[in-house]
């Protein structure tokens, strides 16, 4: 009979708690899954895919309810998703060295925290035609999706770093 180590028992419980807490405020919990796995010593080659998968599961349910209650416009969100989803997959599939992964994670979380706590009014308006808005949305989705995939935090934290006005 195989002995289950404490980490194999505790990780699913911690993931459930994170999913429950984050989903109650409309988020997926990607940064917490990533942090828990880094602390637990999980291989940095597997962290992004596991974290993204957990985040995707939780945020899909939240996104469905969000759109079902008419809190978002699919026509604005769709260009971001079209480019962010495949680039998040590419970022999650990259085999970065542990040190590079941890630096990218640290820098991205610091930038997001700085955006949230230090830069209160980052909104701006650009006079763009429909085509230009689509191009900017596709490029931003690609860059942010790649970064989110690399560190396994999903898009919510990274996208919160931008105050996009369509």
Residue 56 included in any domain: yes
Residue 119 included in any domain: yes
Residue 21 included in any domain: yes
Residue 67 included in any domain: yes
Residue 110 included in any domain: yes
Residue 47 included in any domain: yes
Domain region containing 132: 6-159
Digit-by-digit pLDDT tens for the chain (166 residues) are 455 567 778 888 999 999 888 887 777 888 888 889 988 888 888 888 888 788 888 888 888 888 888 887 888 888 988 998 889 888 878 888 889 888 988 898 888 788 778 877 767 777 889 899 899 989 999 998 898 888 876 544 444 433 333 3
Residue 164 included in any domain: no
- Report the pLDDT value the prediction gives residue 143, as an integer from 0 to 100: 92
What's the total number of domains in the chain?
1
From residue 116, alpha-carbon distances to 26, 71, 127 in Å are: 16, 22, 25
Q: What is the pTM of this model?
A: 0.63
Residue 92 included in any domain: yes
DSSP string spanning the chain?
Answer: -PPPPHHHHHHHHHHHHHHHHHHTTT---HHHHHHHHHHHT--TTTHHHHHHHHHHHHHHHHHHHHHHTT-S-HHHHHHHHHHHHHHHHHHHH----HHHHHHHHHHHHHHHHHHHHT-S---------HHHHHHHHHHHHHHHHHHHHHHT-TTHHHHTT-----
């Amino acid at each position: 009979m195989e002995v289950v180590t404490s980490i194999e028992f505790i990780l699913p419980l911690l993931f459930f708690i994170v999913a429950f807490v984050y989903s109650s405020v409309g988020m997926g919990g990607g940064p917490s899954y990533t942090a828990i796995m880094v602390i637990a010593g999980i291989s940095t080659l597997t962290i992004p895919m596991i974290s993204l998968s957990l985040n995707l599961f939780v945020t899909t349910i939240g996104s469905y309810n969000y759109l079902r209650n008419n809190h978002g416009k699919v026509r604005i969100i769709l260009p971001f998703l079209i480019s962010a989803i495949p680039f998040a997959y590419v970022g999650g599939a990259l085999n970065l060295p542990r040190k590079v992964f941890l630096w990218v994670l640290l820098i991205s979380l610091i930038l997001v925290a700085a955006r949230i706590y230090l830069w209160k009014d980052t909104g701006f308006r650009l006079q763009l035609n429909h085509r230009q808005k689509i191009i900017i949305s596709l490029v931003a989705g690609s860059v942010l999706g790649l970064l989110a995939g690399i560190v396994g935090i999903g898009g919510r934290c990274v996208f919160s770093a931008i105050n996009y006005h369509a």
